[in-house]
Structure 1
Amino acid sequence: MVGLSKNITRTILIASYIMIVALIISGVSALFSYLNTGADRSTMLHTEIQKVEQYLPKVSWEPLKNEGRPMDNQTLNALQSDYLDAWYVKQIAYNTNKTAGIKDYYTDSARENLYSFIELNKAENITIEATTLKHNPTLEFFSQDGQLAVITDRNVIEYKRVFKAEKLVLETTETSNYKIVFLLEDGFWRIRHMVKEDADIYDNKTEPISVDNLNIKGINYYPQANPWNMFGDEFSVDTISKDFKIIKDAGLNSVRLFVQYEDFGKEHVNPKKLEKLKQTLDAADAHNLKVVLTLFDFYGDYSVMSWTLNQRHAEAIVEAVKDHNALLAWDIKNEPNLDFESRQKAVVIAWLDNMIDLVKSVDNVHPVTIGWSNTQSASILKDKVDFISFHYYEDLEKLDAAIKTMKTEIPNKPLVLQEFGLSSYSGFWKPLGSSDEDQANYHKKIQEQIAANNLQFMSWTLYDFTDVPTDVVGSRPWRRNTQKRFGFIDNNGAKKASFKYISN
């Protein structure tokens, strides 16, 4: 037994020795690989910057006619990726006045200028919020050894907000030309030189789109069973088609639909969601209804560093359905003025301004509007939108005066009353609420005002709902229950008294 015990012990020791040697060899191999090929960039960075797509400006390369060695697509893609990452880390550095991440995308000599600029800004208490929205690079030279590349990036669209002691001192959009020299180090393209050759103020005037045939006489639409989740798992084109028939038979000609940013996949739009959207537009077309499509529903981050992601989202949506026969107009955002206080009014307006440019650059046929929550904001960006949309849930006695003011401030654009309505909820949580009869009288009166003021309109909404998500109106029961009863058709499918005035 003693001999057997010694053999077992010897076997265990030999096996352990072999495992230790294997681990050492594996570690040395990994280190050798790291030193020769460069570490995974996502493990090298020292900030929140990771190798994920969080900066996606539009990039349009000129056809490759460079001097030196021919450039293959894989290398070009790697060069572009590292180039855009270099912009991103620089903008993060200028916003935070911290240098982390700079060394990963700039060579020793190039980063010294950046460090000096950051130190100067820190001393002067200056910070910069910036992004680039479009790049037009040309590959000028690629060395025979594949270690050096030169590009010229023309008409780069740059948006900047400069702050001193947290006070905004400059807001500008420029177009600039850059000459950039790259070196391949550790398997990554780092910027060796980056020279700004010239810059001009960006002229972002957009061409007006005809609205002569607009004639909106419609309604905001969600299916009754799955409101605010129209394109989710319970999506039913049959249900939507039946509802569109009801809308058309009621004498209306259009519907307003909503595309939620996160639900549709954010910057990487989900093709399955796009297919559901197309099926919905097909159903509208089958019933001879036109669609006002509202983008960015339930989205509230207007931060400058998110702009490129937002624009790739909008670009994908617009490109996918811009030629659809049912499409009538684009609504950039629902009630963005409600975010003025929490997200800074100037930032929200700048985001809207640039998003209009993006949408019109993809679709120059369909008009663009913004769904303001009140009449007071309706004149904002009046020269950029093609028609004015506003919502009204206030005292009807004040509506005529508000319309008169808007027509004075905006004399040459059609006015669309894009949301209006009255809840017929009266119960425990709101004992002094309105009845079905009150709702009907409201719609009768507001239709008279619509006709008298020559307004186009889209009422809220076809159905009463059994459930309203808390992220729509919050968790307070008096608000949620009120929101459930704005429809012209009740929970049992019966037309309410207000249905008589749904179209006139």
Structure 2
Amino acid sequence: MVGLNKNILRSILIASYIILIALIIYGISALFSYLNTGADRSKMLHTEIKKVDQYLPKLVWAPLQNEGRPMDKENLNALQNDYLDAWYVKQIAYKTNKTAGIKDYYTDSARKNLYDFIAHNNAEDISIEATTLNHNPTLEFFSEDGQLVVITDRDVIEYKRVFKADKLVLETTETSIYKMVFLLEDGFWRIRHLVKEDTEIYKSKTKTVAVDSLNIKGINYYPQANPWQMFGDTFSKDTISKDFKIIKDAGLNSIRIFVQYEDFGKAAVDYKKLEQLKQTLDIAEVNDLKVVITLFDFYGNYDVMDWTLNHRHAETIINALKNHKALLAWDIKNEPNLDFDSRGKDVVIAWLNTMIDVVKSNDNLHPVTIGWSNTQSASILKDKVDFVSFHYYEDLDQLDTAIKTMKTDIPNKPLVLQEFGLSSYSGIWNLFGSSEEDQSEYHKKIQGIIADNNLQFMSWTLYDFAEIPKEVVGRLPWRKRAQEHFGFINQNGETKPAFQYISKE
């Protein structure tokens, strides 16, 4: 028994020794790893502002024909990253009048000018919101020792808003040429010298698309089982194919579908969902339907520093689908005027204006529109869109007058009534709501107005839905119940009386 206790004690001591040695080794290893993290310059220099997923203007290098040492890909990528980071930290500094990050991307001499400018703005209560949208740099010189670079950046498109005491005093978009000298210091390509050699007011080079053959008789579409969640794990080609056949057989020729900005991955587009979007267009083509794609659904930020991410998102989707035979048009955004009060009318319109340029610069064949929520906003950017889309859920007795007013204000662009409808819900949450018969009379009447005014149209919507996401109309039950019953087909899959007026023919 005594021998057994000694063996147990000996085993405990050996195990304790092994554990102690392991802890010591682990501690040394952790310390070594920690010290090695100092090689990561972003941690070593406590840099919190980074370009990745925050700042992605379009940048196209001229062919490399520089003097001095040939530039390798690794150095070029490092130079490009630090260059864009330098722009980003400068713009954050001008917006906040703080100098965080400046020292990481500008040398002593260059940062003094920036510090003086920031101090002046701070004293005068001036702030600047700005972003660059396009860069076209040319590498002019790369020193033999690999420590100095000279570049010229042409056609830099820069948007800026200048505020004095929080009041907007200047809004402008400029095209400039910049000349810069970089030094390699502590692993950073820092700007030593920067000169704006030339600048002029930016003029869009995009052109309108001919829409003489535009003939939209369509409907806004979501599958009944997963409205506002069409793409993802619940995506069903069979369901979409069945629904598109119903739409085509009903005498319609087009559908409007929605791409949610965050759901599709923002700047880093989810290629699985992009493929599902393409498959949706494939099914539309089989059924001889054309597709209006509405971009940026559920997006409502519009912050100037978000713009380059928005542009890369749109660019990816457009270039993936612009040659598809089923594509009819691009709708920049659904009802952006509803964000005027919360985000500022000027910045929303500026965002729309630049987004039209992005879409048209990537696809000059398909027309562009904006889905305004009412007739009063329809004339905004009327000269930049190719056709004007508006929604109408108001008194039908006023619609004819509203259409005539729009035709006077917008004489040279087709008008598309892009959303309209009436809920057939009348229940505990709305005792005085409309019935299915009321809904049918509504569609009969509005199709008459559409025919009399030679309008094109897309109604809301094919199905009644069992569940509406709170992001669409909020949590209030009377709003959700009403939104669930706008369809031409009820939740049991039966056509409602209004179905006979789904098309004006």
Band the TM-score falls in, shorter-chain normalisation:
over 0.9
Is residue 2:118 matched to residue 1:118? yes
Q: Which amino acid aligns with 2:457?
A: F
Do the aligned partners of 1:329 and 1:369 also contact (CA within 8 Å) in 2?
A: yes
Report deviation, 1:186: 1.4
1:343-396 Cα distance to aligned partner (Å, 9 max, x none) = 000000000000000000000000000000000000000000000000000000
Report the 3-state secondary structure (helix = DSSP H, G, I; strand = E; otherwise coil) of the residue aligned with 2:222: coil
Q: Cα deviations across residues 57-88 of structure 1 (Å, max 9, x unaligned)?
A: 00000000011111111111111011001100
The correspondence of residues 133-152 of structure 1 with structure 2, limited to 5 A, is 133-152=133-152
Q: Deviations over 1:458-482 (max 9, x none)?
A: 0000000001011100000000000
Residues 455/15 of structure 1: CA separation in 2 closer, same or farther (3 Å cut): closer
- Cα distance between partner residues in 1 of 2:23 and 2:434: 79
Mapped partners of 1:495, 1:20: distance in 2: 74
| Distance (Å, rounded) in 2 between the aligned partners of 1:451 and 1:33 | 70
Partner Cα distance (2:235, 2:130) in 1: 40
Equivalent residue, structure 1, for 2:215: 215
TM-superposition CA deviations, 1:385-414 (whole Å, max 9, x none): 000000000000000000011000000000
Aligned to 2:40: 39
Assess if the C-alpha contact under 8 Å between 1:45 and 1:104 holds in 2. Answer: no
Pairwise CA distance, 1:255? 0.2
Q: Is the 8 A contact 1:42 1:51 kept in 2?
A: no
The answer as to whether partners of 2:137 and 2:152 remain within 8 angstroms in 1 is: yes
- Over 3 Å counting, the alpha-carbon distance change for 1:9 and 1:396 in structure 2 is closer
- Given that 1:60 and 1:135 are in contact with CA atoms closer than 8 Å, whether structure 2 keeps it comes out as yes
**Structure 1 unaligned regions, length at least 5:** none
- For residues 303-324 of structure 1, the C-alpha deviation after alignment (integer angstroms, 9 at most, x for no partner) is 0000000000000000000000
Q: Could you tell me how far apart the structure 2 residues matched to 1:45 and 1:398 are?
A: 61
Shift of 1:143: 1.0
5 Å-filtered alignment, 1:290-439, equals: 290-439=290-439
Query: What amino acid sits opposite 2:165 in the alignment?
Result: A
Aligned AA (2:292): V
C-alpha distance in 1 between matches for 2:36 and 2:297: 50
Matched letter for residue 39 of structure 1: D
Tell me if 1:261 matches 2:261.
yes
Q: d(CA) in 2 for partners of 1:240 and 1:54?
A: 35
Tell me the SS of whatever aligns to 2:274.
Answer: helix
CA contact (8 A) 2:463 2:489 kept: yes
- Deviation string 1:390-440 (CA, Å, 9 cap, x unpaired) is 000000000000001100000000000000000000000001000010000
| SS of 2:138 mapped into structure 1 | strand
Structure 1 residues 186 and 219 mapped into 2: Cα distance closer, same or farther (>3 Å)? same
Describe the shift of the 1:317–1:28 C-alpha distance in structure 2 as closer, same or farther (beyond 3 A): closer
* Matched pairs, number: 499
In structure 1, how many angstroms separate the alpha carbons of the residues matched to 2:447 and 2:15? Answer: 93
Aligned 8 A contact 1:205 1:384 in 2:
no
For 2:22 and 2:220, the matched residues in 1 are separated by 72
Query: Structure 1's 17 and 495: CA in aligned 2 closer, same or farther, altered over 3 A?
Result: closer
Specify whether residues 316 and 43 from structure 1 end up closer, same or farther in structure 2 by C-alpha distance, changes over 3 A only.
farther
Q: Does the CA-based 8 Å contact 2:47-2:104 persist in structure 1? A: no
Q: 1:469 matched to which residue of 2?
A: 469
Q: For the residues of structure 1 that align with 2:416 and 2:273, how far apart are their CA atoms?
A: 28
| SS across alignment from 1:471 | helix
CA distance in 2, matches of 1:22, 1:243: 61
1:224-303 correspondence to structure 2 within 5 Å? 224-303=224-303
**Amino-acid identity (%):** 72
- What is the SS of the residue equivalent to 2:224? coil
Measured in 1, the distance between the counterparts of 2:224 and 2:250 equals 17
Amino acid at match of 1:155: D
Equivalent pair of 2:329/2:366 in contact (CA under 8 Å): yes
Q: Give the aligned residue type for 1:237.
A: K
1:23–1:212: structure 2 CA closer, same or farther, 3 Å change rule? same
Shift of 1:266: 0.4
In structure 1, what is the equivalent of residue 447 of structure 2?
A: 447
User: Does 1:155 find its partner at 2:155?
Assistant: yes
The Cα shift of 1:294 comes to 0.2
What secondary structure does 2:503 align onto? coil
Shift of 1:22: 9.1
Moved over 6 A (4+): 3-6, 8-22
Q: Give the counterpart letter for 1:101 in structure 2.
A: G
Secondary structure of 1:424's partner? coil
Cα distance, 1:144 vs structure 2: 1.1
Cα pair 2:50 2:85 within 8 Å, conserved: no
Q: CA deviation at 1:14?
A: 12
SS of equivalent residue, structure 1 residue 136: strand
For residues 373 and 168 of structure 2, what CA distance do their matches in structure 1 show?
Answer: 27
1:185 Cα shift? 1.2
Change (3 A) 1:472 1:33: closer
- Using a 3 Å threshold, how does the CA distance of structure 1 residues 28 and 220 change in structure 2: closer, same or farther? closer
Q: 1:298 and 1:456 mapped to 2: Cα distance?
A: 25
2:179 corresponds to which residue?
179
Q: Is the CA contact (8 Å cut-off) linking 1:256 and 1:292 kept in structure 2?
A: yes
Residues in 2 aligned to 1:303 and 1:51: alpha-carbon distance in whole angstroms: 16
- Structure 1 position 206, deviation (Å): 2.5
- 1:51: how far off? 5.8
Cα 1:193–1:446, aligned 2, differ >3 Å: closer, same or farther? same
Supply the distance in 1 between the matched residues of 2:393 and 2:26 (Cα, whole angstroms). 74
CA offset digits 1:233-275 (Å, max 9, x no partner)? 1100111011000000000000000000011110000110111
Within 2, Cα distance between the matches of 1:72 and 1:433?
Answer: 69
Determine if contact 2:51/2:81 at 8 Å carries over to the other structure. Answer: no
| Whole-angstrom distance in 1 between the partners of 2:345 and 2:396 | 28
Q: Equivalents in 2 of 1:335, 1:209: separation in Å?
A: 22
Which runs of no fewer than 5 residues in structure 2 stay unpaired?
Answer: none
Question: Counterpart of 1:313 in structure 2: which amino acid?
Answer: H
Note if contact 2:255-2:291 (Cα within 8 Å) is conserved in structure 1: yes
Q: What is the alpha-carbon distance in structure 2 between the residues aligned to residue 202 and residue 493 of structure 1? A: 53
Distance verdict in 2 for CA 1:466–1:116, change over 3 Å:
same
Distance 1:19 1:486 in 2: 66
What residue in structure 1 maps to residue 59 of structure 2? 59
Alignment-derived partner of residue 102 in structure 1: 102
Q: What secondary structure, in the 3-state scheme, does the structure 2 residue paired with 1:495 have?
A: coil
Amino acid at match of 1:90: K
Are residues 197 and 14 of structure 1, via their aligned partners in 2, closer, same or farther at CA, if it must alter by over 3 Å?
A: same
Asked whether the equivalents of residues 51 and 88 of structure 2 are also in contact (C-alpha less than 8 Å), the reply is no
Cα contact 2:51–2:84 (8 A) shared by 1: no
Please, what is the CA RMSD of the aligned residues? 2.3
Letter of the aligned partner of 1:53 in structure 2?
A: D
- The 8 Å contact of residues 37 and 43 in structure 2, kept in 1 or not, is answered as no
Measured in 2, the distance between the counterparts of 1:460 and 1:33 equals 56
> Per the alignment, do residues 175 and 10 of structure 1 end up closer, same or farther by CA in structure 2, a change over 3 Å counting?
same
